[in-house]
Structure 1
Amino acid sequence: MNLASLRIITADIKRLVQFLENTTNFRAIWYTEDFAEITMGSSTLAIGSTRTLSFFGEGVAQPASNKSVIIEFRVDNVDLEFERIKNFVHDIVQEPTTMPWGNRSLLFRDPDGNLINFFTPVTAEAIQKLK
């Protein structure tokens, strides 16, 4: 089994896709006006508008209500990424900090309040774990 994608449901898909394109430096592919995907290597971040929920049933998901998931991106240099995004990301939760498990981490929120973590392994153990 392989994790194929992570999907975010949003009430403002254009705003969220633009934010994610800017923060990841990857372009989305729009399949309909209500569904886009950003593919990075073997990972895909899917973004669907609330209108896509009608296919799954009422009440199955609610936009801007995530309180338990952090979307994580391994980056080459978290400090450089912070410098690149800090002028347009308005909700920085944690500036680059080296965590006890050996990753340097930058935590921020997207416009819907979802937590995003950019991280770079910096200790020998963290680097080895992700090889």
Structure 2
Amino acid sequence: MPPPSPPPDAHAADYPVDCGPVPLGVVQAASGDLTGDGRPETVALVRCRSGSGTPPSGIYVLSPGDRKGDPPRVTATFLDPKERMGVTGFAVRGTTVSATLLGYSSLDVPRCCPDLQRKVNWRWRDGKFVLTALRPANSV
């Protein structure tokens, strides 16, 4: 039996994010066999490295490149920075990716201080990743 393949390197991928003159940074990455195919995927939390403020985040699933030596490729987008949300509590546990998404209720809310949050999970089901928003705390 061949040894298991290593997970994709989050720092070697090309993400569909335009940061202008500032670099894109990988804030956090975690790996696991999310699709059950025996090969690990990597989930990367990325954002532009601005000098101030709270830049929006992106969450991407990476799979190995098509050929040996190819960089990892983005195969799913969980959160696009264009949605202008932040992320905290990012984790991969087994086949579940979880995060708390941070947002703004209006344009009047300062970008430093999100006033909305929602815990979410993504899981592979029926050939695609499915988003589940968890009930807010103290809800019935």
What TM-score, normalized by structure 2, do the two folds share?
0.24
Give the structure, 1 or 2, with the largest relative contact order (CA under 8 Å, sep 6 or more).
1
Whose helix fraction is larger, Structure 1's or Structure 2's?
A: 1
What TM-score, normalized by structure 1, do the two folds share?
0.25
